[in-house]
Amino acid sequence: MKKTKTSRRALVTLPEGVWQVIDEQLKGKIGNGDSEVIRNMVVAYLLERGYLLNPKEKTASLDQIAGELDIHDSMITSLAEVLEKKGLMTEAEWEQNIKKKVTLK
């Protein structure tokens, strides 16, 4: 039975300028030792580029999105009604604020 490794090692040669950045700017921030800093740099790069992210199993359907928008609409309308009932905002002020925030491009 062959045992699988969970990690591998690699010998890497880096230019002096890279080592200078690692020593002066990265050690203590993204790792304490050379190997830890380099490993964290590689992992961060791969995550940033999306190589290590699992693709979403299922994307939301239009019906799901429409349903969530309906819920948000109801919540916002309820909030506006409560503010108006408490005298904290008038309907005209609400509409004026919406016009300020919403711009069609």
Same domain, 97 and 66: yes
* Residue 6: inside a domain: no
Same domain, 67 and 96: yes
Q: How confident is the model at residue 3 (pLDDT cuts 50, 70, 90)?
A: low
Q: How far is CA 51 from the centre of its chain?
A: 15
Same domain, 66 and 97: yes
The share of the chain scoring above pLDDT 90, in percent, equals 17
Provide the pLDDT for residue 22: 92
Could you report the per-residue pLDDT of 4-47, keeping only the tens digit for each?
668 888 898 999 999 999 999 989 888 888 988 898 999 888 88
Number of separate domains in the chain = 2
Higher pLDDT, 58 or 66: 66
For residue 67, is pLDDT > 80?
Answer: yes
| Claim: this prediction has a pTM higher than 0.75 | no
How much is the mean pLDDT over the chain?
83
- Domain of 95? 62-101
Provide the pLDDT for residue 58: 66
